[in-house]
Structure 1
Amino acid sequence: MTSNPDLAGAKPTDVWGMFFPPGWVRFPTGPGQARELDEAIEDVVRQALPDDLPRDSVEPHRHLMRDALRDTFTEATEAGAGAVYLPTEPLNGIMTPCSITEAEIVSDAGSNPVEVAASILTEDYDESELVEVDGRPGARVTTTSHDVRHDGDFPVVSTKQVVYVISRDDVEGDWLVMSFSTVWNSEEGRLVSEALVLFFDALMSTFRWAGPGASPLTPLDPAAPGPARR
């Protein structure tokens, strides 16, 4: 993925984006994007702890926030994710317990994308269905896990993952994976997570290819996270 929008020979599916609500930020985690990731982290830190605050008292908190964000993206970077989307502002005073990961994968070149998507449905998922995302075939699958434990002093939680696997190119076998995760550890949290799954599905309904030759019905908002470019 590159930040250069003028790619020679680029295709409509080489650029994509979605309409995010205020407060969401796209953190690029792909190879060669360390500078862009640092800039995104600095923007979030600056917004949370503005420069006009007393430096002596605030700077330690800035360092902690930078380190916490970088730790968050380490696993995604090692797993080959191209970007992580996070809500960085509270909703009604509460931080939203969810994240979205973006990754590109390659299957057998020249394979029928509908057949590839259908083969995904044979795996052991809670829910699975064929979908079409802005004219391209794909699959949507969900997985729920309970009694999930993490290292450190963290509560035992339940998690739900919703994944869209979308064909980008039939000939080259390129696919885009958009993976949404949410966690909870109470009945109230479970209800919130169910609402967040609906939010993600609504978000994916705004997904548009935006590369050369694409004709999205509604132009992508330049102030929103992304658009992503291959």
Structure 2
Amino acid sequence: MSADRTDMTAARQPGEIATGYRLILPSPWEQVPLRQGTEEAVRRILREAFARISPEVPPDTVGPYKRELERRFRAAVAEARRGRALDVYLPVRPVGETNLGASVVVSEALLPRPRRQGGGASAPPTEVAVRLLARDAPAAVGETDLSSGEIDGALAVRREYVAAADPARGADPAARRVEYIASVPGDPARWFVAAFSTVGAGDPGDELAEALVTWFDALMETFRWRYT
């Protein structure tokens, strides 16, 4: 499944299988594809970020800043690739004076395809989605909010929770997580997953985290399937 930020989705024909998606991203965010063209995208984004550094910043400050920025950016991309994601979206420009500690990781979950027809009743799609969300889920702190609905006409389940800190995976602070999982139209064995994560301004329950969760929900309203 591929991503396209600008392609206009064509009307779906009966039985047609979705082959990609599109999201309308605000300018502070950039998409890094993880199956091909990753290094080219990383170098371009870093080059543009370095070019925005004020010439008034002392050289002995610029060097360490560039190295730390590149380290953090590449670490986020590497973490998404280890999870076999399709794309990762990162805020590469500050909003006002705030650097957003957030990410959106897009992946797909595949179910075993039936070997023959008539092999018995399958689980309801909503139950399947909940099971997929539960796979490899980090430990949650407090309650988990779970709801179902649709995105662009496909069944979707939304989960929101606070993930506990996990230093072994590089996640030192706890993080606010919101995940959408949607059944891919025309292919019941494939599920689209969009996972948003933020540490807010240092507290996953603070006002910045709340605002970013609201932003992500609004972003998912722009989601459209793409058909070839």
Query: Do Structure 1 and Structure 2 share a fold, with TM-score over 0.5?
Result: yes
Provide the residue aligned with 2:159 in structure 1.
141
Q: Which moved more, 1:186-195 or 1:112-121?
A: 112-121
* Structure 1 residue runs without a partner (length 5+): 6-10, 213-230
* Alignment partners' CA distance in 2, 1:120 and 1:43: 36
1:87 Cα deviation after fit: 0.6
Counterpart secondary structure, 2:43: helix
**Cα deviation 1:141-190 (Å, max 9, x = unaligned):** 112135x25369x9963311111001114545111100001114656961
Q: Which moved more, 1:79-88 or 1:178-187?
A: 178-187
1:80 Cα deviation after fit: 0.7
The question of 1:49 aligning with 2:45 is answered no
Provide the residue aligned with 1:199 in structure 2.
215
1:98 Cα deviation after fit: 1.1
Counterpart secondary structure, 2:167: coil
Counterpart secondary structure, 1:81: coil
Provide the residue aligned with 1:28 in structure 2.
33
The question of 1:150 aligning with 2:155 is answered no
Calculate the TM-score normalised by the size of structure 1: 0.71
CA RMSD of aligned residues (A): 3.7
% identical aligned pairs: 25
1:85 Cα deviation after fit: 0.3
Alignment CA distance shift 1:2-1:161 (3 Å): closer
* Alignment partners' CA distance in 1, 2:122 and 2:223: 19
In the alignment, residue 134 of structure 1 is paired with which amino acid? D
1:120 Cα deviation after fit: 4.0
How many residues end up aligned between the 2 structures? 199
Q: 2:146 aligns with which of 113, 120, 128?
A: 128
**Cα deviation 1:27-82 (Å, max 9, x = unaligned):** 1123xx1xx1112112212212239x7xxx67786565444422221121111111
The question of 1:160 aligning with 2:164 is answered no
* Structure 2 residue runs without a partner (length 5+): 8-15, 115-119, 135-139
Provide the residue aligned with 2:113 in structure 1.
109
RCO higher in structure (CA 8 A, sep ≥6) = 1
